[in-house]
Amino acid sequence: MAEKTIRLKRTGLYASGSTPVNMIQAIFYNEDMLVYDLEDSVPASEKDAARLLVYRMLKEHRPEGKYICIRVNGIYSEELEQDLQAAVRANPDCIRIPKVEYAREVQAISRHIAEIEEAVGLEVGKIELICNIESYMGVLNAQEIAMADPRVVALSVAAEDLTASLKAQRTKAGLEVFYARNAVLLACRAAGVDALDIVFSDINDEEGLRADTALAKNLGFDGKTVVHPRQIDVVNSYFTPSMKEIKYALRVLKAVEEGKQAGKGAVTLDGGMIDKPMELRARTTLAQAEAAGINVERMVL
């Protein structure tokens, strides 16, 4: 079976569909995922204009080398139908759905996207979905949401709305959303999709951002949504395999290959057994490094 191509989502940056300057500036930063926003950042009076701006942007000035998303308005919003019509015709990599709580919501949107794709001559099923988990109900149903439809490639935790739904206080330490982060992460791993971590909202606290991102990386997340361009390089650095991790992964795979050639049933490295999960982790590390532009084949062990 061919290995799945990795589309890195280490950082996701929102650009408001009602602010052309931000939409253009966002092209030149180092985020993996650029999310053109039609929801929270767009005033009600500017929704129509934002749809047109985002559509024209992708049709005429689509950024290269980035995973392009469009965040539509809420599932039960009167704006959703027009958002989907414009978004699908713009043909992004993905549509990001806010405030998802049930699998049936994802399935209904996927079916409607398919209808539009077919109507305008696009490949049916090509546009992917990212579901934002922003409430206690979304957390409780995260696994069903992650497995709801083949289009779903990631879930993203949104802490501000989530804490409001919990009647909790949002803190930098984040203990109030620790369970939710883990629950969504487990759901993503069960479904085989990416897990995207919460925003760290204080753009002036780099030390806090580093601590929060290190926690997300150690928990197992694949990336993080950022609220300001100055956060991008910091977050990217944590979700990019280090030279030490890459070299260890290469050593693991070299030991596995040598063991196979020698006909060994068990392989060891540095006095410890190499099991299948270790081999899989090594292959994932190298795939992530390659996707980040690191030439692992030229590395000397």
Note down pLDDT in tens along the chain; length 301 residues: 334 567 899 999 999 999 999 999 999 999 999 999 999 999 999 999 999 999 999 999 999 999 999 999 999 999 999 999 999 999 999 999 999 999 999 999 999 999 999 999 999 999 999 999 999 999 999 999 999 999 999 999 999 999 999 999 999 889 999 999 999 999 999 999 999 999 999 999 999 999 999 999 999 999 999 999 999 999 999 999 888 888 888 888 888 888 788 877 778 888 788 888 788 888 888 888 888 888 877 765 5
The whole-number pLDDT of residue 85 equals 98
SS3 percent helix, strand, coil of the chain, rounded to 5, is: 50, 15, 35
CATH code for 11-238? 3.20.20.60
Distance CA 225, CA 13 (A): 6
Give this prediction's pTM.
Answer: 0.89
Please list, in sequence order, all residues whose beta carbon lies within 8 angstroms of the beta carbon of residue 157, skipping any fewer than 6 positions away.
Answer: 133, 177, 180, 181, 184, 196, 197, 198
Find out whether 17 and 23 touch, Cβ atoms under 8 Å: yes
How many whole angstroms from its chain centre is CA 218?
16
The whole-number pLDDT of residue 52 equals 97
Distance CA 234, CA 242 (A): 13
Residue intervals in the chain for CATH 3.20.20.60: 11-238
The whole-number pLDDT of residue 241 equals 86
